[in-house]
Amino acid sequence: MATPLRIATFNLENLDDKPDARPSLKERIAVLRPQLLRLRADVICFQEVNGQEFEGGPRQLDALNQLLAETPYEWFYTAHTKTTRDEAYDQRNLVVISRYPIRDVQQIKHEYAPKPSYRKVTADPAEDAKEITWERPILYVTIDLGAGRMLHLLNVHMKSKRPSNISGQKINNYTWRTMAGWAEGSFISAMKRVGQALELRVLIDDIFDKLDVSGEPKYIVACGDFNADVNEVPLQAIMGPVEETGNTGLIERIMIPCEESIPESSRYSLFHLGRKEMLDHILATRQLLTYYRGAEIHNEVLHDESGAFRTDDKFPESDHAPIVAEFVLP
């Protein structure tokens, strides 16, 4: 009997439930819930899910629970990133929900790629070299698809292209003092993004090594907001195209972006300054691609997240489009 498998990724853009938030969670749910139902997903990777405080108890993902209520997703298995206190982070949690049982959950950060040290050249006053760390871990879950088949799912949210802070180089949160300071902040953000890509690629190779030994199917998928398109260094590093490595012996280990089957004119998940950008991806192994049936990017009503002279009011929908890839396993 065939096993349908629709895998989706969706950056919910700071999903929260603050009393003074504009728009309110109720207004956001009215727009986001139909988007989720349209996905008809078996597995969803979420990014930017904020946690909510409860007196006397651990921080929870109550806003997400409210969003999923009264939908089939309400009963899905769930895994999410956690602090050392075993509770949700305050901001930007990674979450996986699955129709199929989640058997194992790992949270990976600087286990495969140590923190690099860097001395800022424009910091005022001058600083000694400090360790550079990425803000978010990789959420690695193993999902039981039945019949001895396990899906190795990696949910990621890489550093945005916004410049990292440089001491003494900002007038306020939105204004840089010098061009050089802005440039160095951008360089540090790029370093973090490529560092996360390196850690993800080493992890993927480690999973391949283990599956080579066990003989299990190589069903590996990396989903999320990569903040880079397929032609940029982070995605190239994760994908490992043979044209770049020059080694055909590694051809079974490349990761393929599912959106490549979508016409280029419709291949975007975010608008920025009037430009269409594809920053969210679902990458699959060649073996899993055997059973690939197609992908969708639900970007019909996507707004420009960077419009000039915006007020503090936000759109109720996310500034990212959800993406879904469909497989039918034998």
Question: What is the per-residue DSSP string for 58-97?
Answer: EEE-HHHHHHHTTSGGGGSEEEE---TTSS--SS-EEEEE
pLDDT digits (tens), the chain, 330 positions = 788 899 999 999 999 999 888 899 999 999 999 999 999 999 999 999 999 998 888 999 999 999 999 999 999 999 999 999 999 999 999 999 999 999 999 999 999 999 999 999 999 999 999 999 999 999 999 999 999 899 999 999 999 999 999 999 999 988 999 999 999 999 999 999 999 999 999 999 999 999 999 999 999 999 999 999 999 999 999 999 999 999 999 999 999 999 999 999 999 999 988 899 999 999 999 999 999 999 999 999 998 877 544 554 678 999 999 999 999 998
Q: pTM of this prediction?
A: 0.95
Is 93 buried (19+), middle (13-18) or exposed (0-12) by CB count in 10 A? buried
Give the model confidence (pLDDT) of 229-286 as tens digits. Answer: 999 999 999 999 999 999 999 999 999 999 999 999 999 999 988 899 999 999 999 9
For every residue of 100-124, which 3-state class applies, written as one string?
A: CCEEEEEEECCCCCCCCEECCCCCC
Give the Cα separation of 111 and 205 in Å (integer): 14
For the stretch 186-222, pLDDT in tens is: 999 999 999 999 999 999 999 999 999 999 999 999 9
Q: Which of 86, 10, 14 is nearest to 312 (CA)?
A: 14
Bridge partners of 78, per DSSP, are: 97
